[in-house]
Amino acid sequence: MADAFPLGVSSPEPTGKPRWSRKVKADNIAGYLFLAPWIIGLLAFTVGPMLASGILSLTKFSGFGAIKWVGFENYDKIFQDKLFYTSLYNTSYYAFLGVPAQLLVALCLAVLLNMKVRNVNLFRTVYYIPTVTPTVANVFLWVWIFNFDFGLINSLLRLVGVAPVNWLWDPQIVKPALILMSLWAVGQQMVIFLAALQGVSEELLEAASMDGANNIRRFFSITIPLISPVIFLNLIIGIISLFQTFTVALIATDGGPINSSLFYVLYIYRKGFQSFAMGYASGLAWILFLIILVITAIQFYLARRWVYYESGSAPS
C-alpha cells in the first residue's frame, strides 16, 4: 500500500522531534474529524461486539435476566456437541467445493464477456442480473426449479430419459444442489475477473502468439499468472463469505433433511435466537472466527507459491 502524500505537504512522520507546525496540527485534527464516524462505528459495532462476544462465550445468558459466569464450560460442551461437528462439516463441504466451482464459472463467464464482439456490454448487464435479485425471491424460485415432481431440472431430466433427482430432500444431494444454485449468482466475482482480464497487456499476448503459442497455451501461461492476484482475492472473499452462508439454508431447506444442510451460522442462529443460549452461541461464533482466521492465514502462506505479483511485493 504505497501511500504518497499527494498534497505535497511535509510528511507527518516525526523525524527526530515532531515539528507540530500549524499546518501539521490542522491536518491531524482534520484527519481525525473526518475519520471520527468510522472510528466510533468501528469501536461500537465491530471491535466492541467482538470482545463482548468473547466474554459472553464464557457465560450462561439467555438474553434476559442475569448473566452467569461459567468459564470454559460452553467450549467443553461445544466440543462434545454432535451438531457442532455436523454443521462444521456441512459448511466446510459447501465452502471448499462451492468456492472453486463459483470461481471457475465466474472466470469462464468473464472470459466470454472479454471477447471482442459487438453488444458485449448488453451481455455484461444481463449476466449480472441474477446477482441483484433479492435472495428471498431467488431461493423461492430455486425451490421450484429443484422441485421433485414439477421442477424445471427434473422435467428436463425426464425429457432425456434420466431418472429424476430429489434435489433438496436427499441428504446426499442437498449440498451439491445448493452449490449448483449458488453458481447462478456469481456476478460479483465475474466482474472482478473481467476487470483483471482487461488489465492483461495486449503486447504480452501478441508476443506469445508470435512465438507460436496457441490460445489455450496463452491463457494458462500468461493470462492466469497475470490475474492470479485477483483469483487470490476472490478466493479469500469467497471462503469467508461461504463459511457464513445463512439465508439460503434457512429459507430453502431450514437445515434439512436430517441436518444435512445445517450450516454453521444457521446453527449459531438457532442456538442464540431460538434456544436463547447466547453464551453458547457466542462460543460457536468465536470458534468460527478462529477457523476463518486460520484458513485465511494458510491461504496467504500458500499464496506465495502461486500468486504472481508484477512488482514482486508480497500480498498486502
Partner 1 sequence: MVEREERYIASISAKLGAYFLLGLGAVISLMPLYWLIMTSLRPAGAEFTYPPEWIPSSFHPENYGIAWNRAPFWLFTFNSILVTFLATFGTILTASMAAYAFARIPFYGRQVWFALTLSTMMLPWAVTLIPRFLLFKYMGLFDSLWPLFLPFWFGGGAFYIFLIRQFIMTLPVEMEEAAVVDGASRLRIYFMITMPLTKPAVAAVGVFSFIHHWNDFMSPLIFTNREETRTLALGLRYFGDEQFTEFRLIMAVATLMLVPVLVVFFAANKYFVSGVALSGLAGR
Which residues from 257-286 bind partner 1, rule CB under 8 A?
264-265, 268, 272-273, 278, 281-282, 285-286
AA identity, residue 142 = W
Region binding partner 1 by CB under 8 A among candidate stretches 92-100, 145-153, 168-176, 204-212: 145-153
AA identity, residue 201 = S
**Between residue 213 and residue 252, which ones bind partner 1 under the rule CB under 8 A?**
229-230, 232-234, 236-237, 240, 243-244, 246-247, 251
Nearest distance from C-beta of residue 290 to partner 1, angstroms: 10
Nearest to 78 by CA among 285, 284, 288, 282: 284
Report the greatest alpha carbon distance in the chain.
82
Our CA angle for 81, 296, 181, nearest 5°, is 70
Nearest to 84 by CA among 296, 268, 207, 299: 268
Cα–Cα distance measured from residue 144 to residue 139, given in angstroms and rounded to the nearest whole number: 9
The phi and psi torsions of 156 (rounded to 5 degrees) equal -65, -40
Could you tell me the three cell numbers for 62? 439467555
AA identity, residue 110 = A
Nearest distance from C-beta of residue 207 to partner 1, angstroms: 21
**Between residue 178 and residue 197, which ones bind partner 1 under the rule CB under 8 A?**
184, 188, 191-196
Whichever of 110 and 174 has its CB closer to partner 1, that residue is 110
Per DSSP, what are the bridge partners of residue 59?
69
Binding mask 70-109 for partner 1 (x = CB under 8 A): ---------------------------------------x
133 interacts with partner 1 by CB under 8 A? yes
Q: Which of 125, 202, 211, 312 binds partner 1 (CB under 8 A)?
A: 125
Whichever of 104 and 172 has its CB closer to partner 1, that residue is 104
Whichever of 258 and 293 has its CB closer to partner 1, that residue is 293
For residues 36, 40, 42, 44, the Cα torsion angle rounded to the nearest 10 degrees is -170
204 interacts with partner 1 by CB under 8 A? no
34 interacts with partner 1 by CB under 8 A? yes
Q: Which of 75, 128, 169, 219 binds partner 1 (CB under 8 A)?
A: 128
Q: How many chain residues bind partner 1 (CB under 8 A)?
A: 104
Could you tell me the three cell numbers for 311? 512488482
